[in-house]
Amino acid sequence: MIIEASFDPVTVEMVQAIRNLMKQEGIHEVYVQPGNEGILSVDQRVRLLRLAFASYRHIHVTKGKKADRILTGYEENEKLARSGYFRLVPASVRRDLIENNLYLPQIVEAQCSPHRAIHSKGVADTCVILARAHHLDEKLAERMGYLHDVTKAMSNEEGEAVLRIWSPSDLSLNPKIWHSRTAVFWLKHNMGLYDPKVLIPIWNHTLGQGKSDYDRILYIADKIEPNRNYDTTYHLSLAKKDLRKAVDLVMKEGEEYRRKGN
């Protein structure tokens, strides 16, 4: 039997549904394949399916065949997974989604306002430019850029509730800074993202207190991404050459801006 679904992405619920179907109908061998339509390409979804079913000897992955059955009713679960709730997918699939930066635009579109989603893409693009200039991991830089404001839309009440449980000492900070903390907890809890090279720069991106080059890149990119309403050509040029000097410049200008009462 060939079972087709969008598998965009394949979720734990879908894996279990296929196993239940085989048991209920006494089917010994099953082939699963992704449909033509999806945010990810067919080949990407085939790869994820192979990861999801790697330990199942009687479930195989194919593509482009005539399906015997269409698996439906799991679209909302897939949509939630694309919104950043990677806990809904098998662990092997989750690792691949994170490592290959899949669904990042969909995550920020789902979790952020339209304006913030545009900003996040601009930050991600700028992070990649700076990572390339300094011979750092461009995928990692893109990841932290997209996700740094993932909880920006969280209300103060929600933010306070999160911090009260996970980091009560940070309740003394200005609420405008809370999102840099709550984002880390959100990414761990919902996305299963634990990489400190991503999480520490996100934690530090509002105050610019980080010590690594990734910290500096995110702090700078957040302030100079191309959707800001001022010319940041010089800042980008400086940051490509010297991250420390660029941080100092951005921080100095931020202090001057605040002193003027803006």
Q: pTM for the complete prediction?
A: 0.94
The 10s digit of each residue's pLDDT in 163-213 is 999 999 999 999 999 999 999 999 999 999 999 999 999 999 999 889 999
| Containing structural domain, residue 26 | 2-99
Phi-psi domain of 135 (left: phi exceeds 0; alpha: psi -120 through 50; beta: other)? left
d(CA 55, CA 47): 14
The 10s digit of each residue's pLDDT in 71-89 is 999 999 999 999 999 999 9
> Quick check: bond before 105 cis, omega within 30?
no
The 10s digit of each residue's pLDDT in 222-260 is 999 999 888 999 999 999 999 999 999 999 988 876 666
**Burial of 216: CB neighbours in 10 Å, binned 0-12, 13-18, 19+:** buried
Quickly tell me which residue has 């039997």 as its tokens: 1
**85: CATH:** 3.40.50.620
Residues 24 and 132 in one domain: no
The count of domains in the chain is: 2
pLDDT beyond 70 at 261: no
CA nearest neighbour of 111 among 223, 190, 13: 190
More confident residue, 218 or 228: 218
d(CA 248, CA 239): 10
* Residues near 84 by beta carbon (within 8 Å), at least 6 away in sequence: 103, 107, 110, 111, 150, 186, 190, 191
Residues 159 and 47 in one domain: no
Residues 118 and 237 in one domain: yes
d(CA 153, CA 14): 30
Last residue of a domain, one of 67, 82, 99: 99
The pLDDT value given to residue 257: 66
Residues 117 and 227 in one domain: yes
Residues 140 and 29 in one domain: no
Last residue of a domain, one of 83, 99, 115: 99
pLDDT beyond 70 at 102: yes
Pairing relationship of beta strands 69-70 and 30-34 according to DSSP bridges: unpaired
CA nearest neighbour of 81 among 162, 161, 167, 13: 13
Residues 255 and 134 in one domain: yes
- Confidence class of residue 130 from pLDDT cuts 50, 70 and 90? very high
pLDDT beyond 90 at 262: no
Residues 148 and 223 in one domain: yes
CA-CA distances (angstroms) from residue 185 to 87, 166, 180, 181, 190? Answer: 14, 8, 9, 7, 8
Residues 60 and 150 in one domain: no
**115: CATH:** 1.10.3210.10
Last residue of a domain, one of 70, 99, 128: 99
With beta carbons less than 8 A apart as the criterion, state whether 108 and 116 touch: yes
Residues 213 and 233 in one domain: yes
Residues 60 and 124 in one domain: no
Residues 157 and 178 in one domain: yes
* Mean pLDDT of the residues in the chain: 95
Residues 27 and 89 in one domain: yes
